[in-house]
Amino acid sequence: MNDTDAALRKKVFALRRKGWEYASIQKTLGIGYNTTRRIAKRFDQEFGPPAIRVRIPKKKGQVGVREVRMNFKNYLDQVKGGVSFQIVQRGRVVARIVPDHD
C-alpha cells in the first residue's frame, strides 16, 4: 500500500467510524463508488458496521424529493411568499422551485 492509498484509507475509515454511508463518503472525497465500497467494507470487516448511519446534511434552501412530495402545499405557500428551494435527490440538485415574479 503506497502513501496515497494509506491516506485515502485513513480518510474513509475516519468518516465510516462516524457512521457515514458509502455514497456520502464517495461524494465528499470525490472518489469512485467501488473504491469507497471496497475500503469501507474493509472497515466494516475489521470493526463492524457503524451503529448509526449519517448522510451529508442538506444545505440551507435544499429539500429532498420525498419531503416536497409529502408537504407540497407548505412549500408552495412558501414559494408564493418569495422563498426559493432546490430539490435534492440522492445528494444532487435535480430541480429548483422559484417564485414567479409576474
Look up residue 57 and give its DSSP letter. P
Domain for residue 52, yes or no?
Answer: no
In this prediction, residue 55 carries a pLDDT of 66
Is residue 11 within 8 A of residue 18, CB to CB? The reply is no
Q: Are 39 and 71 contained in the same domain? A: no
Q: Are 37 and 66 contained in the same domain? A: no
Q: Which amino acid is at 19?
A: G
Q: Are 43 and 66 contained in the same domain? A: no
Tell me how many domains the chain contains: 2
Domain for residue 57, yes or no?
Answer: no
* 9-65 per-position pLDDT tens digit: 999 999 999 888 888 888 889 899 899 999 999 999 999 988 877 766 667 888 888
Domain for residue 55, yes or no?
Answer: no
The CA-atom distances, in angstroms, between 61 and each of 20, 57, 66, 98 are: 22, 12, 15, 11
What is the residue range of 37's domain? 3-47
Domain for residue 54, yes or no?
Answer: no
Strands 85-89 vs 62-64: parallel, antiparallel or unpaired: parallel
